Every structure is written in C-alpha cells, then in structure tokens.
Structure 1
Amino acid sequence: MKKKLAVALALMFVTTTAGTVFAAENNPFSSIPTNHWAYQSVNKLVKAGLIDGYGDGDFRGDKPITRYEMASLVAKAMSNEEKADAGLKSELTKLESEFSGELQNLGVRVTTLEKNQPNFKMNGTFDTRYTAKKTEDGASDVKGEYRLRLNGEAKVDSKTSFGVRLVNNAPNGSNFSNNTWTTFGKPDNDQDSSTFRIDRAFLTTKLGISDLTVGRQALKLDANDLLMDSGAYSFDGVKSAVKLNKKVTVTSNYGRLASGVTFLNSKKVDISAAGAYYENYKNIDVTSLGINYADKNFNGGITYAQLKNYSSDLDLKKWVAVNAGYLVNPKLSVAAEYVTNSADPVSTVVTGGDNAWYAKVLYGDQALKKEGQQNVALKYYDVGANSIVPAFFGPDPLTRNGNGHDFKGLGLDYNYAFSPTFGGELNYYKIDDKVTSTNSSYHYYRAALHVKF
C-alpha cells in the first residue's frame, strides 16, 4: 500500500491532461479508444468517489486519452483503495494489471514530462446570447451580445502561483456600472465595448493555515452574488481563505473597490453627479468575513460585508447574508439566501426596504458534465431598494435594474449540455418594479450558448 501511495503522490505533480500521442503500440502515450473496457471500469471508480477525474473534477470519458493519462487515474484510485468495496477492488485489480508497466515507470515519465511542460497555462470561456426585453407599455429592446474571458496561471514556487484575467469588457473607471457584455456591432472605442484588456492580476500563496491572495482579484462576497457580481467586479486588496476542516472554510476580504469612478446610464449620461443615487459610491473600501459549511448534501454560510466611502467616512452598506442549499435527491436541489442591510440610505432617491430574498429549485442533472445532460431551474427574487446596489447586483437580467427601487423577479431557466464544454440555455423572467410606473416592469427572454476551453 505504501508503494501505491508513493505512486499517487508522484502523480500530483503532473498535469494529467498532458501527453503526446506516438505511433508505437506499446508506448505509454498511445491513445486508448473510448470503447476500451478500461473506460467503464474507471467510470465506476469515479462514481464511487475513488477518483475525482482531472484537475477540474471531470473525467472526460467522451474522447480518447493516452495510456499515461489512464494510468494516472488508476494511481489516484489506488491511493483511495480503502474506500473500495469488493466489486470495486476487483475492477481496480484488473486496471492495475493492465497498466502495470506504465505505473512502474511513472517516476521516469513524470520527471521527463515536467521538464517539458509550460509553466504558464490558460483556459477561458466564450458566451454569446440574444435577448429581448419588453416593458408593460409594449416597448421592446432586442439585441445580440458576446463575452470573452481568458484566465492564465503560472506556478511561482511550490506554495505560490500568479493569476491573470483578460476580458473584452468589464466595469472601468469612466463607467463603473458598465456591464461585461459587448453588443454586436459596437466599435472598440464605444463606452460599452472596452478594448480587450487585463482586468485582474494577483498572487496566491500558502501562509500558515491560510491561502492568501493579494492583488486585483474577484470580489466574491456571498453564495449567489446578490451583494456583488463577482464575475464582473474586482477589488485591489487581500483575501484570506482558511480551511478549518474538510467541511468548514472561513474567508475574509479587505481592500479598495473603487477610487474616483464614474457611473453612466444607457445614454452615457453621468448618474453619479451631486445629489444622484451613485454620488457616494465613487470611492469605496470593502471589508468582509464569512464562514461556510459544505458536505455531500448540504451547504450553508453566513457573511458580514461592509462598503464604506473612505473619502467621507460614510457607511454605504452593512450587509449580513445567510444562505443554505440542500440536495434532496440526485435530481432535485433547493437553495435560498437572505440579505439585510443595516446602513441608512445614502440618497433620497431610495424608496424601499432593507431586505432581499432569493430562492431556487433545480430539477434534473445537478452538474452538466456530459453530452445530453439537462436541468430546469425556477428562481424567485424579492429585493428591497436599500438592500443592494443596483449596479453591483449579480443576477442577470436583474443587474442594474432601477435606481433604488423595490422589485420582484420570477424566472425559469432551461440548461442543456451539447458536450462537457459546450452548453446552451433558454430563459424567461418577469420583473415587477414595485415603486415606479408599470413601464419599469418588464418581460425578459434570452437564448445563450456557452463554451469552455
């Protein structure tokens, strides 16, 4: 067993998706066809939790892999052999026999491959969508949009890595309410189509029991992004994540979110001028502390977060967010979040409550990792005007709705996987503005495609 564990530990230093296919039949890098019996055996081990697949937790059983990659997965299972029942141990024995040569030579292969691996690795997402927004008076807005995000990571040493993100569009200093999508046909110098640029750069290192991240990085405050759209907004500061055990994590953030920024409306008019809703949001420091619990069927957490205008020493938001989710069965899950803000409104424009509610029911495949998997989600929002900041509110299409009004939203999502890395969705939302005229309420339709690479 010690020998098996040694093999598995050696594999942790290798990117299992690497490998060059050679023609020689007995070469460990030769391709294994998807109808090979080993695929079925490895799939059984994945489902039993003895293997977590590749680095992203996904065993790609839909395409050929090399003998080296298959041996890597076998070694992962060997390190968890004590979890296997008699049937799984039998499968593991057959796999060990089949790939015994590769397992015995892994030390040599690992050393050779590591020297040839690039230190800088990239992945990304590309999304495109068509949307239609129709208000109660019959007015409509139909458009096509796209979004590209590239993520890069470089290993600095055994404890430290460098991360960077490039985007085609993101909030910026001249328009901090700018969204992350580019409308079809918009030139690169248009306000809502920024030049492709780096919007995040940070270092992550292990410091004692904490994973410490320093630099411009994503601002993730709560589970469902009700407080902040973490995909769009970044902050300059420090994040600490301390894993108390396998189920409990404590996370804190501290830094500067905005400094001298400007907010524009859809007509490119400054809405952060004196007396306006966003006047006090031009300079923001952020502080947060959260604790989260997660096991196989349940997850939950509580977060305290504060936005403060550092130039005027004004409390903008003082949030407490509580979330919970439960896997009822393999095909059904429920989730909910409650947010309350104890800071007073910073503008007379705000005419509404301090609390926000979110609920979601998801039926179908809980994670779309294989071709043909699908699910349906029903979502509900009830958002008080003083509970969130419209520009920062994460859920789309509710993001940037109104200018300090209460609203409700009911949505239906359908998601389908064409492959593990290519998916589509259809959405319908009905948004009710509870304060202004009915023309501020609307119906929203969307069809979107998502690619991961």
Structure 2
Amino acid sequence: MIKPLGVSERKIMTKLFWNVIKLAPVLVAATFIASNSAFAVEANETSVAKLAESNNIGQVTSVSQFSDVQPTDWAFQALQSLVERYGCIAGYPGGTFRGNRAMTRYEFAAGVNACLDRVNELIATATADLVRKDDLAALQRLQEEFADELATLRGRVDELDARTATLEAKQFSTTTKLKGEAIFVASDLFGGENNKVGENTNAIFSNRVRLTLESSFSGTDKLQLRLNSGDIASNAASSGTNMTRLGFDGNTSNAVSIDKANYSFNLSDKLAVKVDATGAELNDNVTNFNPDFQSSGTGAISRYGRFSPIYRSGSGGAGVTATFNPKGKISLTGAYLSNDNSNPGVDRGVFNGDNAVFGQLEIKPSDKLRVGLTYARTYTDSVGGFDSFASGTGSAKANNPFGTTVPATSNNYGVQASFNLTDKATLGGWYGFANAERVNGTANADINYWAATLGIKDFGREGNTLGLIFGQPPKLSGGSANVTKDADTSYHLEALYKMQLNDRIQVTPALLVIFNPEHNNNNDTIYVGTVRTTFSF
C-alpha cells in the first residue's frame, strides 16, 4: 500500500521543491536526494507512466489554467515558477490542481522526474541561467529551516524499518497462525424433585483448552490442526437425560490430543472443498443458520441450543465436503463422513463402517434472509446409549428407539432459517424429522424436533448479546408397533447474556430450563445454572 504524504508534509515539500528545482540539475540531484531520502521510491518509467495514465493527469503551461489556485494562495508563486518557467507541473481533469489533497510518494516521484527532465533540456539548450548565488543561498536557508522536519520524517521511516525487522524476526511462521481458546465453567443442576436431581448433584468448576494452528500455502487454502484438552463431564448421567447437556462438554481428564485435522481449498471460484482427516463436523463445514449461538466457546450454553442435530450426523471421523457456488444466492453442499475410517476390520473402513451422506441447498433471497433445506442418510452398526439418532440430544428413546444395539439406518430431513429483523436482532430456527430403521427391517421409528432462537446484539452495552432459545428436543413420536413412543412432550428454554469485557474475554451467565424431562409429564422441571468465561487469544 502506498503511504500518502499529509497536507502539512505536502506544503513543506512544495516549498522545498520550488526552491530546489531552480538550481542546476547536478546540484538538485546531489542535494535534494541526499536531504530527502525518506521520500525516495523505486519507481521506474513504466510505473510512473501507469500512474499518470490512471489519474488522467495533463501538462499545463500557465498557472491560470488551474481553477482552484488563486493569486492569494501561499504557494501561488511556487506553482507559477514551476509551471511557467520549467513547465513540469500537471493537473487533474477539469482543470484542477487539488493542492490540499495528500499526495503519494509515487506522485511525488513522478513530479520530480518530470522537472529533472525539463531542467536537463534547459541545460542542453543553454537557454536559462540556472545557477545563481541567490539560489545557493536560498538552498542553504531551506536546509537550515527544514532540518528538524526532514530529520523527523527520516526518523519515522527508520522506526518503521526497525519495527518491521523485529516483527519478521519474531513471527511464528510466514504461513501459520496460532489461535487459542480457554473456557472456565461453573455450573450446577437444580430441581427434578421426583428423582432428586438437585440432591444427587454438586456444583462443578471445570475447563476446556484448545490451541489451533492454521497454515496457508497459497493464500486461499487452510490447513487446520487443533489440540484439545478438558474435564467438563456430561450432565446426562447426573440428571438422567441428554436434554441437560452443555454445548461444550467433553472429559479427557485434561489429556491433550489432536481432535481436528483438515485441509480446505478452492478448486475454482465456484467450488470450495474441505477434507477432514479427523474430527469432522458438518456444523463447521456448512452454514448451520444459527450464527449467534453455534460456537461451543461463545455460543449457546446447551448442546441442543447450538444448532439443529442434523449437523451432528457422522461427526468425529474423516470425510470430504464440497460446496458449489459458496458466495452465490443459491449454493449446494455435498459431504461424506465416516467414523470408522481408520479401522480396517470387517464391516469397518471408510465405506463399510458408520457413515453419513449429507446434502444441503442454501438459498439467500436477500441480505437479511437465509434458508437451508437439508438431508442426511446415516448408517451405524451399533445403535445404543446416548449418542445415536438424536446425536446426544433429546430423549433416550429418540437416541435409541429400538432398545438394543443393532445396525440401523436413518433418513434425516431438516429446514433451517435465519432472518435479520434489524442490524442488531436475528431470528432463527429449525425443524427436523428423522425416520430410523433396523437393517433387518423389523422395526422403524419417527423422530422430530424444533427450536426458535433470538439474538439481540449490543443489548445493554456495545458488544454484549442477549440470547433466547425455545424448542422441543428430539422426541420419538411414532413408528412400528414394536417401538415404544415418548408419552409426552419436553420443552427446552434457555436464556443467556454474553458480556464482552474486551476483545479477548467474554463472560456468559445462563439458565437452562427443561420442562417434562425425557418427554414425561411425571418428571419435574430441571434447571441448569451456568457461568462460562471464555478467553480468546
């Protein structure tokens, strides 16, 4: 980027330029360049010609041709001499000089070059008496008068050179950035009197730390490697339901591991590709239509409140994601993820083990509205526990509708949307439906869920965000006769307030309320109070 000279610097240089140019070219070259090395630039004839052409600057023969230069202007005599005596001043279209506009060093170099060429012509033709004693005296006075200013300008350039050299010497890498995030969490469960949740749980204080290395080799690609450790246990075991899980839980006993390794690049302006070697997550690879709450470190407190469960299909393994026309009003994404990619055993590997085939059509009718139509087909050879069709959210029946560990498939459908009500308020939401079926065809199950979100930025203070999330977690709502449905309906209510203390520290108090846990009206309401502090660096 070309650094412009300020108005005051321009005035100094105009006066200095006028007086110095009256001397012989040899004296000009020796004295002017030596005294003003801070303004020297490496501009060849081609760059100067391109600059003149791009600005449509034209040569003038009389100072009166400038409509914005008056005889009362302080630099009028200097301009008059340079124009009428040497003929080396150019103007802008419309007959203007723009004397108060800051000029770039390229423009200054072009002006010096033009005047030196003109003086050389005068010398060659011997048509002017260029060297006089009063000129030498004027030059000496100018050197003395502007000694401090020139020294200051040279000092500024030297300081910038020194700082640049320091940055180059201390930078981590020319292509790699180190990013970090640390979460401190204080949380407790209350309520659930019928199963004594409040009596059987204790307040916790836990943490999660992530360090990410992001490298680029071409400027448009990115290699991501992430280190992760933490000791945030799931609330599911204590509360008896996945509905109380936090959005950032994960207990590695603070052991460090590489939980993400991926490489993204553009095959063309219309096709973006991301290859995951481990830790693949669709919510990272595609738009999930919940921008205020999607992040585990700075988004919703709950697991269900971050985004639709359909984006958790196939999470944790390897795969490839491709998006066509990612910046257009209509884009299409396709992905294939595998959780058994590194296991060469029977019914394992990239194509024979657990996997997910994913597709999404994103439509952006306007700058305010985004809509997504999503489909995912999943296969698992071991349905069971809390982490299957509902991806660790919703009821136990929604996660394992068949009540045993069996191979099964699932067709998942989702509709998501995000709408900017104002510059500060965003309304979002999703609806999802899944049909799961045992591979042997003896049973099938229907699962549905929905949610609505509201985020209000700069609420109470600039940088803070108020968030509200309400919905129904995944529920086993129907299926074959040998599948037991959830009897009632649970509701998820979450309120949070993200307080941005500065650019690097965010504190988020939040309250999560689960009505009729496990879709059972006989279960008492459970409350999860949480304060999350996030440090980003």
What's the TM-score bracket when you normalise by the shorter of the two chains? 0.5 to 0.7
Does the alignment pair 1:356 with 2:449?
yes
* TM-score calculated relative to the size of structure 2: 0.48
Contact 2:313 2:356 in 1 (8 A): no
Contact 2:178 2:214 in 1 (8 A): yes
- Letter matched to residue 303 of structure 1: T
Equivalent of residue 217 in structure 2, options 150, 156, 173: 156
User: What is the root-mean-square deviation of aligned Cα atoms in Å?
Assistant: 4.6
Percent identity reads 15
Report the counterpart of residue 399 of structure 2 in structure 1.
Answer: none
Report the counterpart of residue 192 of structure 2 in structure 1.
Answer: 136
Does the alignment pair 1:422 with 2:505?
yes
| Structure 2: gaps (5+ residues) | 6-97, 110-156, 233-241, 290-305, 344-351, 384-405, 478-485
SS in 2 for 1:151: strand
For residues 171-202 of structure 1, what are the alpha-carbon distances to aligned partners after superposition, in whole Å with 9 as ceiling and x for unaligned? 9xxxxx9988679xxxxxxx642511111112
SS in 2 for 1:118: coil
Count of matched residue positions in the alignment of Structure 1 and Structure 2: 309
Report the counterpart of residue 38 of structure 1 in structure 2.
Answer: none
Structure of greater Rg: 2
SS in 1 for 2:355: strand
Contact 2:507 2:532 in 1 (8 A): yes
Does the alignment pair 1:241 with 2:303?
no
Residues 165 and 352 (structure 1), Cα distance of their counterparts in 2 relative to 1, 3 Å cut: same
Report the counterpart of residue 216 of structure 1 in structure 2.
Answer: 278
Residues 326 and 314 (structure 1), Cα distance of their counterparts in 2 relative to 1, 3 Å cut: same
Equivalent of residue 253 in structure 1, options 322, 326, 335: 335
- Quick one: distance in 2 between partners of 1:196 and 1:104? 57
Residues 345 and 379 (structure 1), Cα distance of their counterparts in 2 relative to 1, 3 Å cut: farther
- Quick one: distance in 2 between partners of 1:145 and 1:382? 28
- Quick one: distance in 2 between partners of 1:161 and 1:332? 32
Residues 170 and 234 (structure 1), Cα distance of their counterparts in 2 relative to 1, 3 Å cut: farther
Report the counterpart of residue 382 of structure 1 in structure 2.
Answer: 472
Report the counterpart of residue 377 of structure 2 in structure 1.
Answer: 306
Deviates more, 1:137-146 or 1:120-129: 137-146
Which protein is richer in strand relative to its size? 1
Report the counterpart of residue 361 of structure 2 in structure 1.
Answer: 291
Equivalent of residue 442 in structure 1, options 522, 526, 532: 526
Contact 1:162 1:203 in 2 (8 A): yes
- Quick one: distance in 2 between partners of 1:306 and 1:257? 14
- Letter matched to residue 174 of structure 2: P
- Letter matched to residue 504 of structure 2: T
Per the TM alignment, residue 230 of structure 1 is displaced from its structure 2 partner at its CA by 5.9
Contact 2:408 2:438 in 1 (8 A): no
- Quick one: distance in 1 between partners of 2:450 and 2:361? 20
For residues 104-126 of structure 1, what are the alpha-carbon distances to aligned partners after superposition, in whole Å with 9 as ceiling and x for unaligned? 999x99x9988975322111211
- Quick one: distance in 2 between partners of 1:419 and 1:102? 40
Per the TM alignment, residue 235 of structure 1 is displaced from its structure 2 partner at its CA by 2.3
* TM-score calculated relative to the size of structure 1: 0.56
Which protein is richer in helix relative to its size? 2
Equivalent of residue 413 in structure 1, options 496, 500, 512: 496
Per the TM alignment, residue 438 of structure 1 is displaced from its structure 2 partner at its CA by 4.3
For residues 276-333 of structure 1, what are the alpha-carbon distances to aligned partners after superposition, in whole Å with 9 as ceiling and x for unaligned? xxxxxx9520110112234431122111112112699954321111111211122322
Residues 103 and 236 (structure 1), Cα distance of their counterparts in 2 relative to 1, 3 Å cut: farther
For residues 328-407 of structure 1, the aligned pairs below 5 Å read: 328-344=421-437, 354-365=447-458, 372-386=462-476, 407=490
Residues 362 and 404 (structure 1), Cα distance of their counterparts in 2 relative to 1, 3 Å cut: same
